[in-house]
């Protein structure tokens, strides 16, 4: 039989939803939704774990009469519709406004630049990294992935959280709060989090829902002239192209750029959607990294200090690029559990020790030396090739990585 899935957004139910509920002999939903909308005489199943509800729906026949599933907002937008379809349960949907639409309407903000992520289940870490990388992110929360946990993961990033509790309900409350304060509060379920770099910002008109897509306009492995740097303290475009291919930055990832120099590797990772922490001991270089990040429109968290000591307490990365510091820094980075570590070396006498440090950390190690000759023009207008200093790259991938 076909099940009717009704979205509830706190407003009056539309006529199609009212009729479906009036005819229903079985209604499934969260306790509060059942109390508000389930008709007298209908059998009720409270929706906690979805297994019992799916089993009940899967065994229904036409003789059992109509069944309705109540869900918050639009059931097809991070809702229960996917579970029903995955279990071959036919569904017709009466949608409502999503909770994200409601919250953005409450605060009077356009929504076409807002990225929406799901922190339910095991997705908290990926959701946090999107919040660290993107300027406007709405986060669906639940249980151990609530506002306090999201806030704790954003300490060190300049963010404002707008937390909506019981949105559309009698106890609705909307708070604008810093991550430091939000991490210490207890929040009422259900709730939704909007994470913003600048609450007062009016976003540019967009064409792609969720903000400008990655990769960024202009591609990657940009020319060295695209970054402020001094005395050649910038990884060459050819080196960055190969390093980025091995780091595989993307939305939901956190990348460390250790010994960042100009920050070109980290900035390029940010342009490809990853959250980035740049670690650099030289205060002059740190100012250049911040300037490069701003110029390329990405959010790079700057940590100034000497590695490996300064790495302690930083959020665990998914990938690490080590551009300086030698074997001791490589050893420390290999110990943090990242899936991938890439090491850039100019000194050949450090190759063996850095490779051994990666191997000791449980990585399969590969590598190459990159030697490029770039096309250039002589004074008479003829063409020649000009050699670029070679760089050795080591690629470490954890042996237990998928």
pLDDT tops 80 at residue 373 = yes
Average pLDDT rounded to a whole number, residues 236-251: 95
- Return the pLDDT at 401: 63
Report phi then psi at 68, rounded to 5.
-125, 135
- Return the pLDDT at 169: 83
Average pLDDT rounded to a whole number, residues 173-195: 96
Distance CA(128)–CA(277), nearest Å, equals 13
- Return the pLDDT at 232: 64
**Number of residues that this document lists for the chain:** 402
Percentage of residues of the chain with pLDDT beyond 70? 99
Distance CA(135)–CA(239), nearest Å, equals 29
Average pLDDT rounded to a whole number, residues 337-359: 96
- Return the pLDDT at 231: 66
Asked whether 70 and 37 are in contact (CB, 8 A), the reply is yes
Report phi then psi at 148, rounded to 5.
-65, -40
- Whole-number mean pLDDT of the chain? 92
Q: Is 139 exposed, middle or buried (0-12, 13-18, 19+ CB in 10 A)?
A: buried
Torsion, Cα of 100, 315, 197, 301 (10° steps): -150
pTM: 0.90
- Return the pLDDT at 104: 96
**Nearest alpha carbon to residue 284 among 309, 302, 308:** 302
pLDDT tops 80 at residue 63 = no
Which of 26-30, 47-51, 240-244, 252-256 is least confident? 47-51
Which of 126-130, 177-181, 189-193, 234-238 is least confident? 234-238
Query: Which one-letter DSSP state was computed for residue 154?
Result: T
Average pLDDT rounded to a whole number, residues 38-50: 89
Helices (H), 177-272: 179-182, 237-247, 264-271
- Return the pLDDT at 184: 97
Give the E-state strand segments of 43-201 in sequence order.
Answer: 43-46, 67-72, 91-94, 115-118, 136-140, 160-165, 173-177, 191-196
Run of H or E residues at 257: strand 254-258
Q: What is the pLDDT of residues 353-367, one digit of tens each?
A: 999 999 999 999 999
pLDDT tops 80 at residue 165 = yes
pLDDT grade for 49, boundaries at 50, 70 and 90: confident
pLDDT grade for 142, boundaries at 50, 70 and 90: confident
Q: What is the pLDDT of residues 200-233, one digit of tens each?
A: 989 888 899 999 888 878 889 998 889 988 766 6
Average pLDDT rounded to a whole number, residues 7-19: 94
- Return the pLDDT at 11: 87
Average pLDDT rounded to a whole number, residues 233-251: 93
pLDDT grade for 402, boundaries at 50, 70 and 90: low
């Amino acid at each position: 039989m076909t099940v009717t899935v009704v979205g509830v957004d706190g407003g009056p139910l539309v006529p199609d939803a009212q009729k479906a509920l009036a005819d229903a002999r079985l209604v499934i939903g969260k306790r509060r939704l059942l109390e508000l909308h389930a008709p007298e005489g209908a059998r009720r199943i409270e929706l906690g774990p979805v297994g019992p509800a799916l089993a009940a729906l899967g065994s229904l026949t036409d003789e059992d009469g109509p069944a309705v599933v109540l869900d918050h907002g639009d059931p097809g937008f991070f809702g229960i519709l996917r579970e029903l379809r995955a279990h071959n349960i036919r569904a017709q949907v009466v949608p409502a406004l999503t909770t994200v639409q409601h919250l953005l309407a409450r605060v009077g903000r356009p929504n076409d630049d807002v990225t929406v992520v799901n922190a339910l289940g095991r997705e908290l870490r990926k959701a946090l990294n999107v919040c660290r990388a993107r300027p406007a992110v709405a986060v669906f929360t639940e249980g151990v992935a609530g506002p306090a946990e999201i806030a704790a993961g954003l300490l060190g990033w300049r963010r404002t959280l707008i937390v909506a509790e019981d949105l559309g309900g009698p106890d609705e409350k909307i708070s604008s709060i810093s991550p430091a304060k939000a991490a210490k509060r207890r929040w009422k379920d259900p709730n939704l989090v909007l994470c913003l770099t600048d609450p007062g910002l009016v976003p540019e008109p967009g064409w792609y829902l969720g903000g400008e897509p990655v990769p960024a306009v202009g591609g990657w492995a940009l020319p060295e002239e695209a970054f402020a740097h001094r005395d050649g303290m910038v990884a060459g475009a050819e080196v960055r192209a190969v390093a980025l291919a091995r780091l595989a930055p993307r939305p939901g990832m956190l990348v460390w750029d250790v010994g960042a120099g100009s920050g070109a590797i980290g900035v390029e990772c940010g342009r490809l959607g990853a959250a980035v922490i740049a670690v650099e001991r030289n205060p002059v270089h740190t100012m250049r990294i911040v300037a490069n990040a701003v110029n390329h429109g990405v959010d790079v968290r700057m940590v100034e200090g000497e590695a490996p000591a300064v790495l302690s307490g930083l959020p665990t990365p998914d990938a690490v690029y080590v551009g300086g510091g030698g074997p001791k820094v490589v050893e420390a980075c290999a110990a943090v559990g990242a899936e991938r570590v890439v090491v850039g070396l100019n000194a050949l006498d450090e190759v063996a020790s850095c490779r051994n440090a990666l191997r000791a950390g449980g990585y399969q190690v590969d590598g190459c030396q990159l030697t490029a000759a770039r096309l250039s023009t002589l004074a008479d207008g003829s063409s020649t090739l000009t050699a670029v200093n070679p760089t050795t790259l080591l690629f470490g991938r954890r042996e237990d990585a998928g």
